[in-house]
Amino acid sequence: MFEPVGAIGRALKIKSGEWARLLIAFFYFFCLLSGYFMLRPIRGAIAAADADNLQWLYTATFVSMLALVPVFGYLVSNFKRSRFVPGIYFFFITNIILFAWLFRDGMPDIWTQRFYYVWISVFNLFVVSIFWSFMADIFRAGQAQRLFGTIAAGGSLGAVFGPLVTGNIAASVGNSGLMLIAAGLITIATLAAIYLGGHSEARDRGARPESVIGGSIWEGAIKVFSSKYLILICLLMLLHNLTSTFLYNGMALMVREQIPEVGAARTIFFSNINLMVNLIAFVLQFLLTSRIVAWLGMPKTMVLMPMILAAGMVVLGSSLTLVLFASVQIAQRSLNYGLVGPIKEMLFTVVERSTKYKSKNFIDTVVYRGSDVAASWIFKGLIVIGLSLSQIALVFIPVLAIWAYVSWQLGSLYEQKVKQQNSANR
């Protein structure tokens, strides 16, 4: 029976007994993304300075992902969640401290900058993918539809906090200082993950005890290509990345042309964009996402983003300025974080446990960055043949139509799986 607790419980649709895990997960994601969004503007500044080579940076990131997939598969197959989740986080924390030393005198040489760009692209996908795999493991599908928006709001609140701090202290502490603060926040997130795992294990003891997942290190990849449901998720990611990469690379080109690299000007510009994106995403996640899904259903909710972006591409095709381009990118990213992101994580609550970690990680890393590579080379090719950013924007309108169709199909399959899962649990 649905029993909300108090005014906040009624507003957020939280049942009795869910508060502890929800609040820990909220705080965990807040700290994780606070740290990441202190590191992200540095990547933006590097991208703007090296905009002609972004396709190579995407390619290097993809190759790095391929190398790490069997390592992650080994960890998941041979260690309990309580070991491999914090272990991976602590590994990345030591990396951040090393980068803080390398950036201690400002921007280092170009190859160190490029290595950082690739590293943070790997870091972002791995730590966030692990977070949502963890959430899909400890919350059921019905809980996810009600709670994942609120949990995601914790991340967006952290992603607002990170740029706010960055914008105010970047000039005084420099990139190295930002990295050390980020390392501290991610350490706190790791401790929260350890506590949440222990709390969930104690609460579910006897019902869902933690165990080693086992299986092959390549099991996740094999399942992806044998499941229509997972293939549709991959197509959704590809179509999204085609669009987001165009907006990201186009923004890098426009910033390089219109904002001189004076002090931390470019870092602050990208930090301000991050702040706006995450303020909008927070409102969506905290107040609207669960209501939109309940009101429209999954298929209709999933087609909202490509429809809105199609309108944005029409605008860019007719009038192109830095402000308009930034506005469309802000819309794309805020809808991705605020609406599509939580929905994508809900999709994994109806699959088996090994798929939640292994296949999900393969999709979130290799497939995600592979689609990034494809998108970046497509963008480079369109620029080389002489298309302007306005013309490329119009090229993406049919891509968005395909995205809407795939979203509808995937949302329908999800609803079928939820019904099957509910029937099996009765």
Q: Is 285 in contact with 157 (CB distance < 8 Å)?
A: no
- pLDDT at position 365 over 70: yes
Residue 415 in any domain: the answer is yes
Mean pLDDT in residue range 363-392? 84
Confidence bin at 2 (pLDDT 50/70/90):
very low
Catalogue the long-range contacts made by 137-142 (C-beta closer than 8 Å, 24 or more residues apart): 137/81, 137/353, 137/356, 137/357, 138/21, 138/196, 138/200, 138/204, 139/21, 139/349, 140/349, 141/346, 141/349, 141/350, 141/418, 141/421, 141/422, 142/418, 142/422
Residue 5 in any domain: the answer is no
| DSSP class of 386 | T
More confident residue, 213 or 157: 157
Residue 12 in any domain: the answer is no
Residue 4 in any domain: the answer is no
pLDDT at 408: 95
Please give the residue range of the domain that contains residue 251. Answer: 17-425
Residue 95 in any domain: the answer is yes
Q: Is this prediction's pTM over 0.75?
A: no
pLDDT at 207: 43
Q: Domains in the chain: how many in total?
A: 1
Confidence bin at 302 (pLDDT 50/70/90):
very high
For the beta carbon of residue 392, count every other beta carbon within 10 angstroms.
Answer: 19
- pLDDT at position 406 over 90: yes
- CATH number for the domain spanning 361: value is 1.20.1250.20
Residue from 184, 44, 64, 59 nearest 123 by CA: 64
- pLDDT at position 203 over 60: no
